[in-house]
Structure formats: C-alpha cells, structure tokens
Amino acid sequence: MKITDAKVFVGGPKKNYVTLKIITDQGVYGLGDATLNNRETLPAKYLQDFLIPNLIGMDPRNSEDIWQFLYRGAYFRGGPIAMAAYGAIDMALWDIKGKLANMPLYQLFGGKSRDGAMVYAHATGADLEDLMDSIAQYVEEGYKAIRVQCGIPGMPTASYAVPEKKGSAQNYITDYTGIRPKVEIWDTDKYMRYMPGALAEIRDRFGPDVHILHDVHHRLLPREAAEFAKAVEPVRLFWMEDPTPAENQDALRLIRQHSTTPIAIGEVFNSIWDCNKLIENELIDFIRLAATYAGGITPLKRIVDLAGLHNVRTGFHGAPSHSPISMAAQHHLNAWAPNFGVQEYLVLGTPECDALFPSEHRMENGMVYVSDAPGLGVDFDEAEAARYTYAPGSHPVVRLEDGTMWNY
Ligand code: GCO
Ligand code: MG
C-alpha cells in the first residue's frame, strides 16, 4: 500500500483551518489538522514544500516509522510549526489505519473507558456581573465544567479572553484585521487583589457542584502564582491553568510547595521533553497538549501514558483554533484514556463548520460522545472548502503600563 498524493487546504468559516488530506493507492484517504493559530500558512508551507514530497510512495500503515522519520529525520527537532505539520500527517495516517481496520480509533487504542467525556466551556465577562450571566447560561445548557474569566477593575485595557463591552460575550482573541497585534496592558497587582475574591463570589453563587476553571495565561511569576494558588484554595478550583510560563519546569515546585490548588499546563508545549519533568515530579495535575501541536496521536498517546503513571490527568487544549479533525483525534483519545480529566471544547457547531467537516461526534449536556464511524469519524468537503481563503490575523501582545513586554 502506498501514499500517492496529499493536499493542503487553508481556510474555514472565521478561522484559518489547515487541513491535510492524504490519498492512497487503495482509495482510502486520511485527514489531519495542522492549524497553528495565527501562523497557519507556515505548517502548510512546510507540508507542501518538504513533507508531502517525502511521503509519496511510503506505506501509510507504518505510522510509527513515518513519525520517527519526520521527527528524527529533520535533524532540527521539534518546534510548533514542524510539530503541527507532523501532527496533521500522523492524524491522517491513524485515520487511514482506522478505515482499513473498519474501526473507530478508540478501539485501536484499547476501547472505551467511559460513555461520554466531560468538556468545559468558556464563560467570560467585561466585569464580574457580566461573567455571572455568562456562567448562568452555560449551567442552564447543562455544562458541568466552566472556565471563568472577567475584566479586572482599574486594568487599563481588557485582559486575556475578556470582552471590552458588557454583554458582548466576544471573548475570542484573534483579530482578523491583520497581522499586527493589538496591545493589552497588564497589571499583576490589580489582578492579584481582585481575582481571588471574584472566584470566591462565583463559588458562592453557583454552589459546590459546578467545576470552576480559571486560566491565568502565563501572567504571574512563580512566587506570585504560589500566592494566588494559596489564596484561591477555599474556592476548590477544578484547575488553575498556566499560572506561570513553564519553560523552566523546576519553577513549578514553588507553587506546589505552597498550595494544593490543581494545576493545568501544556497548551504551548510541542513535545514530551517539554513536560516530562513536570509529570515525573508530579508538579502538575492536568496535561494540556493538543494532538496538533504535540505532533499527532502517536506522541500524545505516549504523553498520556507517562502522565497516567504519575496521577496526572488529561485536559487537552481545545481552543476554537483547532479544527474538528484534531478535536476528533482528541475525542477518541478521551474515550480511551484511563487518566482522562476533561476536554476544553468550544462549540463550533455553526452550519458552515458542520458542512465543511461532517461528522457524527455528538455533544450533549456538557459531554462529548465519540462517533463509531471508522477512523477519526470526520470528513472534509472540498467543494465547501473552496468557499474560503486565508485571512491574516493575530492575537494581542501584552505590555506592562511602562511599556515592558509581558507574557500573552
Ligand atoms: C485556552 C488558551 C487559548 C489560547 C489560544 C492561543 O486555554 O484555550 O489559553 O485561549 O490563548 O489558543 O492561540
Ligand atoms: Mg489556556
């Protein structure tokens, strides 16, 4: 069996999805997602110029060897652009394998460990009252887990994932007016003084059962993160996400030594080498890589297994930048993983998105039910795809009030 061709498409409804289609000599094709948010053309170019010409003629069933060929063979290993491109290839090869076996992928991993996988939604508000309305709406819709972000009084601009105006619920961050980013101004002191109290009010209002998550989005230093984690302990967060940049994996010790608030990290990681110490030293509770940026199902599954040895559960990234193809890869991993925690999932279910990526994965009452179709269980309509083109966009950058660059 041989790969005979592969095509890359960039575009989608209000998103620049990068979709790979690998075609074989036996009429079976596989789909992959290489969407690297706000840098979408780069994995697409890497696929077109270097990777696809190498794939032609290979046996698509050897997905492990092909992954090793891509990763080791590049000599310059890893990085988000390359790993997103490998991720798309790996997903497509697993899709082909599932179709050949006539089985949904979760069966090839070891079958289902649960019926449905809990997801979390994003509630957001220009201020706390606005956020409370947004949370109430998700509770009403049956969500069991909700991430909460709100504007901070006195902050010079809206901060991460928070709308500028009340009631706009416009939390998403990519601005498609061009590649030059807007600037958010950040003030750690104002955040530290306000946010723990706001989280406590949310817990009081919604009671003990709803899982509350909060994304600090890399804004704190390790000592500040430790103070924050300690202050919010009574709220019993499901998790505190990205409290501090984790490039220095040892920095997480400080937070751990001072608090029992669960920590979720990993959405910007590309490899097991970015998180192995965090996992082995049990410095985190949830691992957040995505099938795309981690380089596909093959390496992500290895990370899930390592995490399982150390009581770390999964909480894969699922921002709207991921297409339904990589989300499907994650639905299958979530159905199988013995150490599943939660899945971030923002309902993309617009008629346009469903028409571009038809599938039978189902979302109900805050749970995802994986499809039983062979492979990934999601298709791609090329005629629909022809309606879309690439639209340059950027998420903001962050500066302190004196102009110093900070972490987005
Ligand atoms: C999340 C993330 C996203 C990122 C975005 C960047 O938890 O979902 O923090 O909102 O900001 O994916 O491209
Ligand atoms: Mg995040």
The 10s digit of each residue's pLDDT in 283-296 is 999 999 999 999 99
Mean pLDDT in residue range 98-119? 98
Please report the pLDDT score of residue 81 as a whole number: 98
Question: What is the location of CATH 3.20.20.120 in the chain?
Answer: 108-373
Does ligand 1 lie within 6 Å of residue 33's CB atom? no
The closest-lying atom of ligand 1 relative to the alpha carbon of residue 321 is 12
Q: Span 1-18, mean pLDDT?
A: 96
The mean per-residue pLDDT over the stretch 6-21 comes to 96
pLDDT value at residue 176: 84
Tell me the average pLDDT of the chain. 96
Confirm or reject: Cβ of 395 under 6 Å from ligand 1. yes
Question: Hey, is 149 helix, strand or coil?
Answer: strand
Of 204, 216, 324, the residue nearest 265 (C-alpha): 216
Ligand 1, atom 10: closest residue by C-alpha: 319
Residue 170 confidence (pLDDT) above 90: no
Distance CA(255)–CA(139), nearest Å, equals 30
Sheet strands side by side (includes 397-400): 183-186, 397-400, 405-406
Contact 228, 234 (CB under 8 A): no
Q: Is 160 tagged catalytic?
A: yes
If one residue of 217, 344, 397 were mutated to test the ligand 1 pocket, choosing by the most ligand atoms within 8 A of its CB, it would be: 217
Environment of ion ligand 2 (residues, CB < 5 A): 215
Q: pLDDT band at 167, cuts 50/70/90?
A: confident
Calpha distance 166→119 (Å, rounded)? 25
Give the mean model confidence (pLDDT) for residues 349-374.
95
Q: How many other C-beta atoms lie within 10 A of the C-beta of residue 170?
A: 13
Taking the centre of ligand 1 as the mean of its atom positions, its distance from the CA of residue 319, in whole angstroms, is 6
- What gap in Å lies between CA 109 and CA 336, rounded to an integer? 7
Q: What is the mean pLDDT of residues 154-173?
A: 84
Contacts of 262 (CB under 8 A, 6+ apart): 237, 238, 239, 240, 285, 286
What was the pLDDT predicted at 171? 60
**Predicted confidence (pLDDT) per residue in 70-85, tens digit:** 999 999 999 999 999 9
Residue 379: Cβ-neighbour burial (10 angstroms; 0-12, 13-18, 19+): middle
Q: Which ligand is nearest to the CA of 317?
A: 1
Whole-prediction pTM: 0.97
Distance CA 107, CA 235 (A): 38
Mutate to test the pocket of ligand 1, among 119, 214, 215 (most ligand atoms within 8 A of CB): 215
Angle CA(321)–CA(343)–CA(392) in degrees, nearest 5?
A: 5
136 CB under 6 A from ligand 1? no
Write the residue with the smallest CA distance to atom 9 of ligand 1.
217
DSSP β-ladder status, 117-125 and 18-24 = unpaired
Q: Quick one: which atom of ligand 1 is closest to the CA of 161?
A: 10
Residue nearest to atom 13 of ligand 1 (CA): 37
Ligand 2 center from residue 242 Cα (angstroms): 7
Lowest mean pLDDT among 161-165, 344-348, 379-383: 344-348
Determine the atom of ligand 1 nearest the C-alpha atom of 215: 7
Given 17, 86, 160, 293, the catalytic residue: 160
What is the rounded CA–CA span in Å between residue 315 and residue 238?
11
Question: Lowest-confidence range among 94-103, 172-181, 248-257, 300-309?
Answer: 172-181
Q: What is the pLDDT of residue 346?
A: 86
Q: Which residue has the higher pLDDT, 269 or 165?
A: 269
* 15 pocket-lining for ligand 1 (C-beta < 6 Å): no
Q: Which fold has domain 3-106?
A: Enolase-like; domain 1 (3.30.390)
User: Ligand 1, residues 15, 173, 244, 327: which to mutate, most atoms within 8 A of Cβ?
Assistant: 173
User: Three-state DSSP class for 17?
Assistant: coil
Closest listed residue to residue 337, CA positions, set 92, 39, 105? 105
What's residue 91's pLDDT?
Answer: 98
What's the gap in Å between 304 CA and the centre of ligand 1? 20
List, by residue range, all CATH 3.30.390.10 domains of the chain: 3-106
Q: What is the mean pLDDT of residues 214-241?
A: 98
Any ligand 1 atom below 6 A from CB of 215: yes
Q: How far is the CA of 28 from the centre of ligand 1 (A)?
A: 34
Identify the residue whose C-alpha is closest to ligand 1 atom 8: 319
148 and 212 Cβ atoms separated by less than 8 Å: yes
Task: Evaluate whether 223 touches 257 at the Cβ level (below 8 Å).
Answer: no
Residue 348 has pLDDT above 80, yes or no: no
Fold of 108-373: TIM Barrel (3.20.20)
What's the whole-number mean pLDDT along residues 128-151? 97
Whether residue 21 has its Cβ less than 6 Å from ligand 1: no
